[in-house]
Structure 1
Amino acid sequence: MTGAVPDPLPGWLTAATRVTALTGAGISTDSGIPDYRGPQGVWTRDPDAEKLVTLSYYMADPEIRRRSWLLRRDLQDADPRPNAGHAALVDLERQGRLRAIVTQNIDGLHQAAGSDPDRVLEIHGTVNEVLCTSCGDRTPMREALDRVAAGEPDPSCRVCGGILKSATIYFGQMLEERVVDAAVAAATDCDVLLAVGTSLTVHPAAGLVDLAARSGARVVVVNAQPTPYDDVADLVVQEPIGTALPRLLAAPA
């Protein structure tokens, strides 16, 4: 089934008690954070922007690092806030029906909306912390951005002098095994896998849909554009996320 949110909702959805949500950039666009791969995505409009999050370029080129710090500053200054899509998942958790949120996003908006941090698996890390690439020291992003504002265009680690980066997973960098294992467990131990605002083209995140389906879960895809997994899904919704999710996840009558 493809298109609008069905009325009434399928019984298997309203009866679901272990829903795992897989979220991508599309859930945060209503918060003012642009997506990356959509028709107007950051990398669609400027392919060179992908270098800012490619580890080899970042480590080798101070100019790439300076541009990256300015991008992080702009994101923080924009002060994005959670939207109705994030709130719908908080409501689902309060209903006792949320197994986990596996997110490809780095913005921390699920936690800001009120989702239990222990249920949020950030497979691509977080932009709210800074990591030293040499000694592994972690500090708040705000501290590093204050240094940038004070005139350090490419701040270095205060512990060892190493190169700092956001605590996100760059291209060319391995995902954290602990987080991936938890995401796989959440996908294989749910009755509904809800993919929201993700193109489902980036692995291993996209592969969680296959794992869930093979484990007997129903699959719901909510995305503005078609995905490679629409044929696998039991329900595909192409309405705006901010209006579709609250209706899909409403408490059973």
Structure 2
Amino acid sequence: MASPVPRIFVLTGAGISAESGLGTFRDRGGLWARFDPMRLATPEAFAADPDTVLDFYNWRRRNALAAEPNPAHRALARAQARAAEAGGHLFLCTQNVDDLHERGGAGAVVHMHGELLKARCTGCGHAFGRRDDILRAQPCPHCARTGTLRPDIVWFGEMPMHLEAIDAALTRADLFVSIGTSGSVYPAAGYAAQARTLGIRTCELNLEPSDNAGLFDETRYGPASEVVPAFFAGYGLG
């Protein structure tokens, strides 16, 4: 059994939520194989046809709310809590826009691509929790304008969120763990290389090798609900 690592940076992607029934994006049959992201996930698409974009994200929000955390989400939550109890830290950064990490028991979660359960006003910038459908007729609760609400999601062509906090956490880490990511979406796909440059041990937990699998010191492949709990148990954080 390996010794517990006090400072762990975890990056999760769509693969960790796949066993909860939420589809991945770039795999065969994934979301972007069935829907055109340029018509549904860009600022230009929203400007051209806001109702279609809102309908798409309302559908995704309902799916996310119907999903349940799986053993991988719960294992990460346990590892985060036990690392803190041991005087260490587990920084949990996700590319996912669902709330399954939080419902699985995780504490602080950094959503670099935004959150489905939030809306944002394009007029005043106010962001707020939203579990129900977002409709164009709804007024912003802050500025009262209508026709300005959108999902608080990072679309193609937009800058991911919390990049400074993410970079700072990565520089302090002893171990970088990538879980369920494709290794093809930047800047997140660049974190493994950045970790190696910093001399940080890198591990990939995935259903199959990612596009950047060659950057990892350790790899474990299989369903997230199996490999994630086993991995953290090996560090005494199970």
- Which category of TM-score, normalised to the shorter sequence, fits these structures? 0.7 to 0.9
Question: In 1, distance between residues paired with 2:164 and 2:230?
Answer: 31
CA 1:56–1:30: 2 relative to 1, 3 Å: same
1:48 aligns with 2:30: no
User: Any idea what SS the aligned residue of 1:249 has?
Assistant: helix
Alignment of 1:181-220 (within 5 A): 181-220=164-203
Question: In 2, distance between residues paired with 1:92 and 1:72?
Answer: 28
How many pairs were matched up? 229
Q: Give 1:252 shift.
A: 2.7
User: Any idea what SS the aligned residue of 1:142 has?
Assistant: coil
Q: Give 1:107 shift.
A: 0.3
Superposed CA deviations along residues 195-222 of structure 1, whole A, max 9, x for unmatched, are 0000011111111111111111111111
Question: In 2, distance between residues paired with 1:138 and 1:189?
Answer: 30
1:252 aligns with 2:228: no
Check conservation: 2:72, 2:224, Cα contact below 8 A: yes
Aligned mate of 1:221, from 196, 200, 204:
204
Q: Gapped runs of 5+ residues in structure 2?
A: none
One-letter code aligned to 2:104: A
One-letter code aligned to 1:184: D
Aligned to 1:157: 139
Q: Gapped runs of 5+ residues in structure 1?
A: 1-8
One-letter code aligned to 1:174: M
Check conservation: 2:206, 2:224, Cα contact below 8 A: yes
Superposed CA deviations along residues 100-158 of structure 1, whole A, max 9, x for unmatched, are 011000101111111112xx111001111111111123333224x2xx6xxx5x43434
User: Any idea what SS the aligned residue of 1:92 has?
Assistant: helix
1:112 aligns with 2:103: yes
Aligned to 1:38: 27
CA 1:69–1:90: 2 relative to 1, 3 Å: closer
Aligned to 1:59: 47
Q: Choose 89-98 or 99-108, whichever is displaced more.
A: 89-98
CA 1:69–1:209: 2 relative to 1, 3 Å: closer
Question: In 1, distance between residues paired with 2:168 and 2:37?
Answer: 33
One-letter code aligned to 2:25: Y
Q: Give 1:233 shift.
A: 0.6
User: Any idea what SS the aligned residue of 1:206 has?
Assistant: helix
CA 1:136–1:157: 2 relative to 1, 3 Å: farther
Aligned mate of 2:116, from 90, 103, 127:
127
1:230 aligns with 2:213: yes
One-letter code aligned to 1:71: W
Question: In 2, distance between residues paired with 1:65 and 1:125?
Answer: 16
User: Any idea what SS the aligned residue of 2:93 has?
Assistant: strand
Alpha-carbon RMSD across the aligned residues, in angstroms, is 2.1
Q: Give 1:80 shift.
A: 1.2
